[in-house]
């Protein structure tokens, strides 16, 4: 039912190739013809079929963006930034959600592979080797993880965790818990490494709790454990967990920051809205989204996989840029001085 290039050709009395050129190489067609063709196209409501075009050009002008969980407020700003950047370059972004599930993740990238020119893998839960494997099938840029040989854009959560721990040390805390993130998360590993080192350096004791689901529920579920552990401060894998934990502690009668200090990571919009406002490590998610799109587009303008391209003899100089974005500690109201010893309920 929708008009094809042939309908337009018929209507304007030219060959389909002329119609095609009218759209993809206007300078090759006589201005008079051009206006006539355009008029007919307009008339018939013709729009080039991008899928058919992609079949032969090898470029869909789509990019895929795979995230762990759309419902996590961390992702939307990144998604929006990526979409905006892509739109500038005349690309569209297809977003898909994996529910934190590594196998759904793999399925998705395969399903997407042929319909997009490249995929942004955001906070992947797959193994590095699997990522490398899919990257042979479709150009990939990895966000929030480092994998050798692949272009990555990372946020320096290590530095962020260190800053957070030092902030807590400065407030006098010596018994600190780290609420670990989900299994398979690179960010979680980096945080753990950096936090451990920083705590040790400051003569503090760091208890690691996890892995956990990186959600409010995941954080809330740890309240009891945090209380029992006798720590006076907590660094959570992300803001959602931090907020969940604060809720949970509150239900148990522990007050933040009076009894326990809590630091999150991400600086999601929500962290400014809760009471107390959350002290957190801000990550430059929008920048990350834009950068990743740029890298991906750069990547596959370097190595055209065009159908009739004469072999990508460009060699293996895979650009593999890896960029590390700075993070920043934002101190708000969920952290405070260590409570005076001996008056809390832990009895330790």
Q: Note the residues at the interface with DNA (CB under 7 A).
A: 4-6, 13-18, 20-21, 23-25, 28-34, 46-49, 52-53, 55-57, 307-308
Strand (E) or helix (H) holding 291: helix 285-302
Q: Give me 82's structure tokens.
A: 């990526």
Closer residue to DNA (CB): 269 or 307: 307
Neighbouring C-beta atoms of residue 266, cutoff 10 Å: 31
* Rounded Cα distance, 7 and 44, in Å: 8
Q: Smallest distance from the beta carbon of 315 to DNA, in angstroms?
A: 22
Query: Footprint of its own copies on residues 238-257 (CB under 8 A)?
Result: 243, 247
Q: Smallest distance from the beta carbon of 198 to its own copies, in angstroms?
A: 29
Closer residue to DNA (CB): 29 or 79: 29
Q: Smallest distance from the beta carbon of 118 to DNA, in angstroms?
A: 17
Out of 105, 117, 156, 216, the only residue in the binding site for its own copies (CB under 8 A) is 216
Alpha helices in the chain (DSSP H): 5-12, 16-24, 31-44, 50-57, 75-88, 102-113, 128-134, 157-170, 186-201, 216-220, 223-229, 239-252, 285-302
Q: Smallest distance from the beta carbon of 76 to its own copies, in angstroms?
A: 4
Out of 261, 274, 283, 335, the only residue in the binding site for its own copies (CB under 8 A) is 274
Contact 121, 131 (CB under 8 A): yes
Q: Smallest distance from the beta carbon of 265 to DNA, in angstroms?
A: 42
List the beta strands (DSSP E) in 30-129: 62-67, 92-97, 119-122
Specify the stretch interacting with its own copies by CB under 8 A; choose among 26-34, 52-60, 124-132, 328-336.
52-60
Query: Footprint of its own copies on residues 161-200 (CB under 8 A)?
Result: none
Size of the site for its own copies (CB under 8 A): 45
User: Which of the listed partners (DNA, its own copies, none) does 190 bind, with a CB threshold of 5 to 8 Å by partner kind?
Assistant: none
Contact 240, 268 (CB under 8 A): yes
Query: Footprint of its own copies on residues 278-317 (CB under 8 A)?
Result: 305, 312
Q: Smallest distance from the beta carbon of 90 to DNA, in angstroms?
A: 13
What dihedral do alpha carbons 40, 41, 45, 50 form, nearest 10°? 160
Neighbouring residues of 139: CB distance < 8 A, sequence distance ≥ 6: 117, 118, 119, 296, 299, 300, 303
Q: Give whole-number Cα distances, 53 to 27, 50, 61, 113, 299, in Å.
A: 19, 5, 10, 16, 21
* Residues in contact with its own copies, shown as a per-residue x/- string from 100 to 139 under the rule CB under 8 A: --------x-xxxxxx---------------------x--
Strand (E) or helix (H) holding 220: helix 216-220
Contact 66, 119 (CB under 8 A): yes
* Rounded Cα distance, 180 and 188, in Å: 6
Neighbouring C-beta atoms of residue 48, cutoff 10 Å: 15
Q: Smallest distance from the beta carbon of 280 to its own copies, in angstroms?
A: 15
Out of 25, 27, 31, 45, the only residue in the binding site for its own copies (CB under 8 A) is 45
Closer residue to DNA (CB): 99 or 314: 314
Site membership for its own copies, residue 7 (CB under 8 A): no
Neighbouring C-beta atoms of residue 152, cutoff 10 Å: 23
Query: Footprint of its own copies on residues 64-93 (CB under 8 A)?
Result: 70-71, 73, 76-77, 79-80, 83, 92-93
SS3 219: helix
Contacting positions for its own copies (CB under 8 A): 1-2, 45, 47, 49-52, 54-55, 60, 62, 70-71, 73, 76-77, 79-80, 83, 92-97, 99, 108, 110-115, 137, 216, 243, 247, 269-270, 273-275, 305, 312
């Amino acid at each position: 039912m929708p008009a094809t290039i042939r309908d337009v050709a018929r209507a304007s009395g030219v060959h389909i190739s002329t119609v095609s050129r009218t759209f993809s190489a206007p300078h090759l067609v006589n201005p008079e013809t051009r206006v006539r063709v355009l008029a007919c196209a307009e008339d018939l409501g013709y729009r080039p079929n991008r899928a058919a075009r992609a079949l032969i050009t090898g470029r869909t002008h789509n990019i895929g963006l795979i995230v762990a969980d759309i419902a996590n407020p961390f992702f939307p700003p990144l998604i929006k930034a990526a979409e905006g950047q892509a739109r500038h370059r005349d690309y569209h972004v297809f977003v898909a959600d994996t529910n934190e599930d590594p196998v759904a993740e793999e399925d998705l990238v395969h399903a997407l592979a042929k319909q997009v020119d490249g995929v942004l893998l955001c906070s992947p839960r797959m193994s590095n080797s699997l990522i490398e494997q899919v990257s042979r099938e479709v150009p990939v840029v990895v966000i929030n993880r480092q994998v050798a040989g692949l272009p990555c854009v990372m946020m320096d959560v290590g530095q962020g965790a260190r800053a957070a721990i030092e902030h807590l040390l400065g407030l006098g805390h010596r018994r600190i818990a780290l609420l670990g993130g989900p299994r398979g998360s690179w960010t979680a590993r980096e945080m753990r490494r950096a936090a451990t080192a920083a705590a040790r350096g400051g003569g503090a004791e760091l208890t690691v709790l996890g892995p956990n689901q990186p959600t409010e529920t995941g954080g809330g579920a740890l309240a009891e454990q945090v209380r029992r552990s006798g720590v006076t401060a907590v660094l959570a894998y992300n803001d959602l967990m931090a907020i969940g934990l604060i809720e949970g502690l509150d239900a148990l009668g522990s007050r933040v920051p009076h009894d326990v200090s809590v630091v999150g990571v991400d600086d999601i919009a929500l962290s400014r809205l809760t009471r107390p406002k959350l002290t957190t490590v801000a990550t430059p998610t929008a920048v990350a989204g834009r950068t990743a799109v740029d890298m991906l587009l750069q990547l596959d303008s370097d190595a055209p996989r065009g159908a009739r391209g004469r072999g990508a003899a460009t060699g293996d100089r895979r650009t593999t840029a890896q960029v590390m974005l700075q993070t920043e500690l934002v101190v708000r109201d969920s952290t405070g001085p260590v409570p005076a010893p001996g008056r809390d309920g832990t009895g330790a």
